[in-house]
Amino acid sequence: MSAGEIVAGVLILLSAFLSMAAGIGIVRFPDVLTRLHAATKPQVLGLAAVLLAIVLRAPTWGVVTTVVLIMTFQLLTQPMTAHMLGRSAYRTDHVRRDLLIEDDLGRDIAAHADD
Amino acid sequence: MTFLQLISIAAGIMFGIGALAAVVRIIRGPSILDRALATDVLLAIAMCGLGAEMAINRHTDTLVILLVLAMFAVVGSISIARFMAKQDAS
């Protein structure tokens, strides 16, 4: 049992815990926007932890470059998904308006309604 | 039983709970947006699980699958979101 194994194990456990938290979050939260908030955690931090564990266990340059590519694509594409889903949820009224504290998009739409 | 075997059992249980919860949301989800979101979560959990398996068993055979998933996982959800927006425009 070396130090690298211990660190990799802790990173894997972190990723697994984030995945479990996301699953519980999307079952328990009330509407699309709050579920979106729960869902985006394992997609970035969980994957980053597990990729770091892979690099620690197999430290070659090929693995490092592939891991950097994977993380770059994930960081590019997941915000797009979250943005499109959130916007589409707002436009099609899948939002609990009584739970919103601040409604910036609604204010913008109201301000530009007469244009 | 070694340290990494214990880790893999604990991680497997937690990944399993997360994946089951995502499947429950795919089945129950009131709107198609909830289902798209839960499918994304299920895919993210699958990616984390593949990576964890690679780190535990110390190989890099499925790293390319992670690369392809990270590149193309975005297509499904965005097309669903666009379709919804067009359907309910105006």
Spatial contact of B52 and A14, defined as CB atoms under 8 Å apart: no
A38-48 in b/e form (b: 16+ CB < 10 A) is: bbbbbbbebbb
- Residues of chain B with Cβ-Cβ distance to A33 below 8 Å are none
Res B90: pLDDT: 37
The structure tokens 């937690």 sit at B14
Q: What are phi and psi of A87, to 5 degrees?
A: -65, -45
Which residues, 6 or more positions from A43, have their beta carbon under 8 angstroms from its beta carbon?
A: A74, A78, B40, B41, B44
Res B26: pLDDT: 92
Nearest CB to A43 within list B31, B44, B58? B44
Res B87: pLDDT: 56
Nearest CB to B84 within list A13, A16, A92? A92
Spatial contact of A12 and A49, defined as CB atoms under 8 Å apart: yes
Query: What is the ipTM metric for this complex?
Result: 0.87
Res A43: pLDDT: 84
- Residues of chain B with Cβ-Cβ distance to A77 below 8 Å are 70-71, 73-74
What percent of the residues of chain B are helix, what percent strand, and what percent coil, each to the nearest 5? 85, 0, 15
pLDDT one-digit tens code per residue, A26-84: 999 888 888 888 888 878 899 999 999 999 988 899 999 999 999 999 999 988 998 88
- Residues of chain A with Cβ-Cβ distance to B53 below 8 Å are none
Q: Kindly tell me the burial class for residue A63, based on how many C-beta atoms sit within 10 Å of its own C-beta (0-12, 13-18, 19 or more).
A: middle
Region for B58 from its dihedrals, namely left if φ exceeds 0, alpha if ψ lies in -120 to 50, beta otherwise: left
Pick the residue of A81, A95, A105 with the most B CBs within 10 A to test the interface with B by mutation: A81
CB contact under 8 A, A23 and B7: no
Mean of pLDDT values over A3-23: 91
Separation of alpha carbons B55 and A17, rounded Å: 16
- Reply yes or no on whether the pLDDT at A15 is more than 60: yes
pLDDT one-digit tens code per residue, B75-89: 888 888 887 755 544
Res B42: pLDDT: 93
Q: Residue B31's CB: how many other CB atoms inside 10 A?
A: 16
CB contact under 8 A, A24 and B41: no
pLDDT one-digit tens code per residue, B17-66: 999 999 999 998 788 888 989 999 999 999 999 999 999 998 888 999 99
- Which amino acid is it at A1? M
Res B86: pLDDT: 56
Q: Kindly tell me the burial class for residue B17, based on how many C-beta atoms sit within 10 Å of its own C-beta (0-12, 13-18, 19 or more).
A: middle
